């Protein structure tokens, strides 16, 4: 079965290359019994892929069950998955089969697998390696033949470092990984999905479907969609019910999408966010670096077009001049930002030096040695005064400032 046929059968909307790649991996791995790990943000539609794998496998006539590991209390998760014997714990009035016994010969999908307690992870690892498990309160080994597909929106590498997930289990689960792309990486699919949801809700609630004007589409395409496809679907339903006017314009769209997320701004590093150290100036630096990269890419594209004979030499000269001017403008802006920050830090250092006695360090510094060590020594020698340290090193203050940022020197 090809990718398009799979989309039609399972109701998948979109033509993104990343989405097609995920579907293709699921199609290829389905005939095997290999364990599959599905990763992706919440709301991306991970739950569809275990169904694809099951229905395209030799187990398609066997049982299939989806288990949300995060929704089952820690005290009962072992009983739910592996069953228990009568009297094995308070309230166990009769023996019960677990999902791994019930789904013998079929496929079990463990959603939010990273939420499993460590003790349950040990049991799961044994099932994956030997196909054997014990019921809670029993010493009798039970064999099962189950295909396991798991999913998580948690960064498992971080969970392993924090001691919340077993590394050996991760290696066993990660035989074939499938990553489901977030909606912001599937911009070409956003309008298609909205139209599909709008048509579905129009039919359900017996009303004309919503229509988007050009500006409303632009807002949707540039929105970050933290909740991914689930958020988009909820938006379509909410607007279908509330809005009387079927033509949705930009003003209406902004009422439903927060302005703070209305544009595709640079993603902040998680560590920096948690420490609360992101400033407006750092964001400007990030935007500048991205602009420079885009301008360089544009220049390369223009050069390729010229080589292929797509435009005249005169037009190429004009385009190159405009691109160079844009690049020069970003350089000038970056220089201004650098100088502002240098001036601010110099002012702070001058104030601090009123309370410090200079300490003379008899040491000759040279740029021929390791730059990091030299910069640190120069800064120590001049008590953090970058102007004097730069003079000692024989470089400009701006160059020293950039090297400090580049080497992350505290």
Strands 132-134 and 107-111: unpaired
Determine contact, residues 137/85, Cβ cutoff 8 Å. yes
The Cα 64–Cα 109 span in angstroms is: 8
pLDDT at 80: 93
Nearest to 114 by CA among 33, 177, 226, 39: 39
pLDDT digits (tens, 9 = 90+) for 113-154: 999 999 999 999 999 999 999 999 888 999 999 999 999 999
DSSP conformation letters of 219-281: HHHHS--TTHHHHHHHHHHHHHHH-S-SEE-HHHHHHHS-GGGSS-PPPPPHHHHHHT---HH
362 burial type by CB count under 10 A (0-12 exposed, 13-18 middle, 19+ buried)? exposed
Examine the pLDDT at 106 and tell me if it is beyond 70: yes
How far is residue 195 from each of residues 91, 139, 223, 237, measured CA to CA in Å?
A: 50, 56, 16, 11
- The alpha helices in 354-381, defined as continuous H runs, are 371-381
Alpha carbon of residue 138 to chain centroid: 42
Q: What are phi and psi of 304, to 5 degrees?
A: -65, -40
Q: Averaged over 317-341, what is the pLDDT?
A: 64
Q: Is the domain defined by 184-261 classed in CATH 1.25.10.10?
A: no
Helix or strand holding residue 177 (H, E):
strand 176-179
The Cα 230–Cα 299 span in angstroms is: 38
Sequence spans of domains, the chain = 3-181, 184-261, 273-356, 359-410
Question: Bigger pLDDT: 383 or 304?
Answer: 383
Question: Bigger pLDDT: 383 or 6?
Answer: 6
Q: What are phi and psi of 118, to 5 degrees?
A: -60, -35
Examine the pLDDT at 66 and tell me if it is beyond 70: yes
pTM for the full predicted model: 0.63
3-181: CATH, from 3.40.50.300, 3.90.550.10, 3.30.420.40, 3.30.390.30: 3.40.50.300
The tokens for 260 are: 């703070």
Question: Bigger pLDDT: 164 or 340?
Answer: 164
CATH architecture of 359-410: Orthogonal Bundle (1.10)
Strands 36-39 and 147-152: parallel
pLDDT digits (tens, 9 = 90+) for 199-241: 999 999 999 999 999 999 999 999 999 999 999 999 999 999 9
Q: How many CB atoms lie within 10 A of CB 365?
A: 17
The tokens for 32 are: 């095997």
Do the domains spanning 3-181 and 359-410 agree at the CATH topology level? no
**In the chain, pLDDT over 70 holds for what percent of residues?**
72
pLDDT digits (tens, 9 = 90+) for 110-120: 999 999 999 99
- The alpha helices in 61-148, defined as continuous H runs, are 77-82, 99-102, 118-130
Question: Among 21-30, 99-108, 253-262, 356-365, whose mean pLDDT is lowest?
Answer: 356-365
pLDDT digits (tens, 9 = 90+) for 5-63: 999 999 999 999 999 999 999 999 999 999 999 999 999 999 999 999 999 999 999 99
pLDDT digits (tens, 9 = 90+) for 285-321: 556 666 656 666 666 666 666 666 655 566 556 666 6
How far is residue 373 from each of residues 214, 377, 397, measured CA to CA in Å?
A: 56, 6, 17
Alpha carbon of residue 7 to chain centroid: 23
User: What's the chain's average pLDDT?
Assistant: 82
Biggest alpha carbon distance in the chain? 88
Question: Among 55-59, 336-340, 347-351, 354-358, whose mean pLDDT is lowest?
Answer: 354-358
């Amino acid at each position: 079965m090809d990718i398009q046929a799979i989309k039609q059968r399972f109701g998948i909307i979109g033509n993104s290359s990343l989405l097609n790649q995920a579907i293709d991996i699921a199609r290829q791995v389905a005939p095997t019994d290999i364990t599959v790990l599905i990763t992706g943000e919440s709301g991306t539609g991970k739950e569809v892929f275990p169904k694809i794998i099951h229905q395209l496998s030799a187990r398609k006539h066997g049982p299939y069950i989806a288990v949300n590991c995060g929704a089952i209390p820690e005290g009962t998760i072992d009983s739910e998955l592996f069953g228990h014997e009568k009297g094995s714990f308070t309230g166990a009035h009769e023996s019960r089969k677990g999902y791994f016994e019930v789904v013998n010969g079929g496929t079990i999908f463990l959603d939010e697998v990273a939420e499993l307690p460590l003790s349950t992870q040990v049991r799961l690892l044994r099932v994956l390696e030997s196909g054997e498990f014990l019921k809670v309160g029993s010493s009798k080994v039970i064999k099962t033949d189950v295909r396991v597909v798991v999913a998580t929106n948690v960064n498992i590498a971080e969970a392993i470092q924090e001691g919340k997930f077993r590394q050996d289990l991760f290696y066993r689960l990660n035989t074939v990984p499938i990553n489901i792309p977030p909606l912001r990486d599937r911009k070409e699919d956003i309008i298609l999905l909205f139209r599909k949801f709008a048509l579905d809700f129009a039919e359900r609630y017996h009303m004309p479907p919503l229509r988007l004007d050009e500006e409303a589409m632009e807002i949707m395409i540039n929105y970050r969609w933290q909740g991914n496809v689930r958020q988009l679907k909820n938006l379509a339903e909410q607007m279908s019910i509330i809005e009387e006017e079927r033509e949705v314009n930009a003003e209406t769209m902004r009422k439903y999408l927060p302005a703070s997320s209305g544009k595709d701004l640079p993603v902040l590093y998680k560590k920096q966010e948690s420490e609360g150290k992101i400033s407006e100036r750092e964001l400007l630096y990030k935007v500048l670096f991205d602009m420079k990269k885009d301008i360089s890419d544009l220049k390369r594209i223009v050069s390729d077009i010229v080589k292929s004979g797509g435009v005249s030499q005169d037009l190429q000269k004009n385009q190159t001049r405009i691109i160079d001017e844009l690049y020069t403008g970003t350089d000038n802006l970056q220089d201004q930002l650098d100088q502002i920050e240098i001036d601010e830090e110099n002012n702070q250092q001058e104030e601090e030096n009123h309370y410090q006695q200079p300490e003379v360090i008899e040491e000759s510094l040279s740029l021929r040695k390791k730059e990091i060590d030299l910069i640190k020594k120069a800064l120590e020698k001049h008590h953090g005064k970058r102007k004097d340290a730069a003079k000692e090193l024989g470089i400009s203050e701006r160059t020293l400032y950039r090297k400090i940022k580049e080497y992350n020197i505290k």
